[in-house]
Amino acid sequence: MPELLIELFSEEIPARMQARAAEDFARLLQAELRPLMPEAPRPLSGPRRIALVGEMAARAETPGKEERGPRRNAPSQALEGFLRKHGATREQLKEEGEFWVLARPGEVTLAEELLARAVPAVLRGFPWPKSMRWGSSDFAWVRPLQRVLCLFDGRPVRFPLAHGGDQVHGILTDDLTEGHRILAGTEPFAVASFAGYEAGLRERFVIADAAERERLIEGGITELAGREGLDVVPDRGLLAEVAGLVEWPVPLLGSIDTGFMDLPPEVMRTTMRVNQRYFALRRPDGSPAPRFALVANIIPEDGGGAIIAGNERVLRARLADARFFRDQDRKQRLEDFLPRLESVVFHAKLGTQGERVRRLERLAGLIAPHLGADPALAARAGRLAKADLATGMVGEFPEVQGIMGRYYALADGEDPRIAEAVGAHYRPLGPGDAVPAEPVAVAVALADKLDQLVGFFAAGERPTGSGDPFALRRAALGIIRMIREGSLRLGLAGLIGEAFFGYPQATGSTASPDFGMEVAAEKLNAGFQPPTGSPHPPMVAAFAAGVLDFLAERLRVQLRAEGARHDLVAAVFGATPDDDLVRLLARAGALETMLATPDGANLLAAYKRAANILRIETRKDGPHDGPVEPSRLALPAEAALAEAVEARSAEVAAALAREDFLAAMAALAALRAPLDAFFETVVVNDPDTQLRANRLRLLRRLCAAMEAVADFSKIEG
């Protein structure tokens, strides 16, 4: 098929928007061109251009068809209405039997015509996160758009971007583009194919493909570092960002004054990365090296000496600032910063950071015994966890919060476990970040995330489908990862209740009657019954159940991403109010093992058959609860099933009590044979109403025995 090449050439596009914009452009344009473009085009992006290249048919023709109209003897009004509906005239009709028939010719769509309609429509509705207008036009783009290259089958396709009275002055649609602004100048050049486009840009010092620019940057700085026996600290995000800042990457190495090497390496990496987009280097033993890598966007005539010297001066000033803040902070102990947090608002509905410190101190101490951690150390770590938020270093470099707290705690002579907890309590920060491992650190990290979840849920600030401004999904996934990876046996409902009572809005003279009640009311209205022996009042237990639902949903999302049977987690959550995730996952694993066997698969099918019968009959005259009457078990198959259900129910209960979930599943699987025999020989809806009622109660007893293990109705398949 003929080749289509489109380039949108503008002033500099923010690096973080380029790749997504190129993908959006390819996706949206393919949707408009789908009759002629069956395969998605390849997106390209760079600092000044968004482009795509793909194959597109020159034309598409739909076959003609016939529309049968009114009968020949129908009133004239019916025929006129038919003609108006189809935009036809009487001359286009023909007679077939007793009816008028309209022969509609096929439609031909030409590529150039479709492009002339599709491209302006896509550009005017483009989903930039932020855009701007310039001149007198209403047309908006991320930065002023200068020209549009549109090339089809080697020929330029020219069309206006005008819409209504808006003429979009100054934007040309042709076969021209431009090379590097400095190295090649602003003289445009014409292209006739993608190969010519790519080669022409390369001749003019532009690498069109962002992935190739990334490879050149990565390879270049790795080679330069290797010459000095150093390694580059991996940073894929920075690599992608720098590739979006340069069109012709030229890697260079600079030096760091040795006087700054006593700064924490995280601080040096942060200021290099965030402020200057430099790459940090390290020695083979992992210690920071007094060198950094940068990427220029020009070919320096002096080999880069002036560029390197200029960047070294800038970095020297940045690191001098960091050293100043570090030295000022060290004039007092970490704990001495805590009074400043009393005036720092955590959230308008949830009080100050000072109040949060007291909650973390209490909650971390309560969690610690469940993890084998020292409660006093955990409480102390919780008290110091947020103290560095008031330091000058974190005020200047927010990215090192927690990290600087760890350094300051060690310098103050705090227990190393406390310092580790202060540094690690924000983790995990994302899917690729490790979870804390030391028990005191885990206690504080759990306290931090539980306090965050509980507070915002109680304040009515839950995530929505369109947003999660307080990162509650990330907090929930962090809790789940710590529990799963550490095999932590925690009663989450109790801890959620303790976190709830840590807020003054929940108790005492400052209690708010609305705090958390929206979540609690939703659970109670849905039929939630607080478990027997719950240590908390019914409304608090219901609130905890609502937060647990959110955690369960995040767990299902995580398992789905891992390719696991997330429906089995839903099934075991639906069967029990158990809040021990490790136990629930073990039960789900045993359930998956059982369902992988023929007995398990057939048992699931039989359960769904029994549940379906019960559902139908319950609508008529249910519910069909109550004990099964042995005297009314008229047939051997139903008597055998009743005996098996009672025996296996006892086995299941005993196995669940000792957490032997494989044994519980094996006991359930043994019901397959008597259940098959029951359905083969017994008619549930017997004419004898007493036999029918007893058989329905038997099926209800069977389903109840199985639902003690899992809610089989939630299992797919």
Domain ranges of the chain: 3-59+110-203, 69-106, 210-329, 348-563, 589-714
> For residue 8, what pLDDT band results from cuts at 50, 70 and 90?
very high
Q: Which helix (H) or strand (E) element contains residue 101?
A: strand 99-104
Looking at residue 103, its pLDDT comes to 77
Q: Got the DSSP string for 205-217? A: T----HHHHHHHH
Asked if 440 and 419 touch (Cβ cutoff 8 Å), the reply is no
Interval 144-189: pLDDT, tens = 999 999 999 999 999 888 776 666 666 778 999 999 999 998 899 9
pLDDT, residue 63, reads 64
CA-atom Rg of the chain in angstroms:
35
Per residue in 98-121, pLDDT tens? 888 887 766 777 889 899 989 999
Round to whole Å and give the CA distance between 125 and 492. 46
Q: β-pairing, 172-174 with 145-152?
A: parallel
Q: What is the structure's pLDDT at 512?
A: 86
301 Cβ neighbours under 8 A, 6+ residues apart: none
Q: Tell me the pLDDT tens digit for each residue of 626-660.
A: 899 999 998 999 999 999 999 999 998 899 889 99
Q: What is the pLDDT of residues 278-298, one digit of tens each?
A: 999 999 999 999 999 999 999
Dihedral sign computed on CA atoms, order 410, 411, 414, 415: positive
Residue 381's closest CA among 364, 396, 399, 398? Answer: 364
Q: Quote the mean pLDDT of the chain.
A: 91
Whole-angstrom distance, CA of residue 299 vs CA of residue 184: 11
**603 and 669 Cβ atoms separated by less than 8 Å:** yes
Residue 94, pLDDT > 90, answer: no
Q: What per-residue confidence (pLDDT) applies to 64? A: 62
Residues 543-599 have pLDDT tens digits of 999 999 999 889 888 888 888 777 888 888 777 777 889 988 888 888 888 888 888
**pTM of model > 0.85:** no
- Decide the pairing of beta strands 176-177 and 140-141: unpaired
Burial 215-224 (b: 16+ CB within 10 A, else e): ebbbebbbeb
Between CA 418 and CA 383 the distance in angstroms is 10
Q: Which stretch of 44-53, 332-341, 443-452, 550-559 has the lowest confidence by average pLDDT?
A: 550-559
Q: Which pLDDT tens digit goes with each residue over 195-232?
A: 999 999 999 999 999 999 999 999 999 999 999 999 99
Mean pLDDT of 304-317: 96
pLDDT given at position 165: 65
The SS3 of residue 244 is: coil
pLDDT in the model for residue 565: 79
- Residue 146: the pLDDT is 92
Within 10 Å of residue 327's Cβ, how many Cβ atoms?
11
Pairing mode, strands 3-10 and 49-55: antiparallel
Is 257 within 8 Å of 316 (Cβ atoms)?
yes
* Residue 106 confidence (pLDDT): 61
Cα–Cα distances in angstroms (integers) from residue 368 to residues 32, 33, 372, 438, 500, in the given order: 58, 60, 6, 11, 17
pLDDT at 481 over 90: yes
Whether the pLDDT of residue 91 is over 80: the answer is no
CA torsion 452-458-460-462 (nearest 10°) is: 40
Taking only the tens place, the pLDDT of each residue in 15-67 is 999 999 999 999 999 999 988 998 999 999 999 999 999 999 988 776 667 78
Spatial distance between the Cα atoms of 142 and 145, rounded to a whole number of angstroms: 8
pLDDT classification of 603: cutoffs 50, 70, 90 = confident
Just give the CATH number of 589-714.
1.10.730
Question: Tokens standing for 222?
Answer: 């790795």
Task: Determine the Cα–Cα distance for residues 403 and 425; give it in Å rounded to an integer.
Answer: 10
Residue 246 to residue 103: CA distance in whole angstroms: 58
Residues 280 and 269: beta-carbon distance below 8 Å: yes
**Cis before 535? omega within 30:** no
Instruction: Tell me the C-alpha distance between 552 and 622, whole Å.
Output: 32
For residue 126, pLDDT beyond 80? yes
pLDDT of 66 reads 77
DSSP secondary structure string for all residues of 495-536: HHHHHHHTSGGGSSTT--TTTTHHHHHHHHHTT--PPTT-SS
Q: Tell which residue, 394, 485, 381, has the closest CA to residue 433.
A: 485
Work out the average pLDDT over 481-501.
Answer: 94
CB 189, CB 178: distance < 8 Å = yes
Is pLDDT of 534 > 80?
no
Of 438, 434, 427, nearest to 378 (Cα)? 438
Strands (E), 343-407: 345-347, 351-352
* pLDDT tens for each residue of 665-680: 888 888 888 988 999 9
Q: At what angle do helices 672-681 and 636-657 cross, to 10 degrees?
A: 150
DSSP string, 599-660: HHHHHHHHHHHHHHHHHHHHHHH----S---GGG--SHHHHHHHHHHHHHHHHHHHHHHTT-
Residue 673 burial (CB count, 10 A): 15
Rounded distance between C-alpha atoms, residue 261 and residue 42, angstroms: 45
What is the full DSSP assignment across 543-554?
HHHHHHHHHHHH
